[in-house]
Structures are given as structure tokens and as C-alpha cells.
Amino acid sequence: MQKIFLAVVVQHENDHLDGILFVEKISPMAKRLIAKKLANIKKETKRIKEENE
């Protein structure tokens, strides 16, 4: 189990280096199910970026 978890973590970090986000890998159905939450995260991220400019 620990090896599997480590593999997932390493792949996740490698994806970051390649500019790939987790939300780009999930299915369209899953995206629809979490669309509101993703919209809120995007809004908050934009607000934080604007504060730090």
C-alpha cells in the first residue's frame, strides 16, 4: 500500500512539473459533480493572486 501511495504522489508531482493539473485528468462526469466547488476554488485563487500583485 505504501508503494502505491508513493507512486501516486510522485506521479502527481511529476504532473505539476509538466503543467498538468488533477482536474485535467478527471472525467467530464466527475467535473460536473464538483463544478461548483471548482468554481469557488478558481475564484479564491484569482482573489489571492490579485492581492499579491
**Hey, which residues are catalytic here?**
13
Distances (CA, A) of 2 to 7, 8, 36: 9, 10, 33
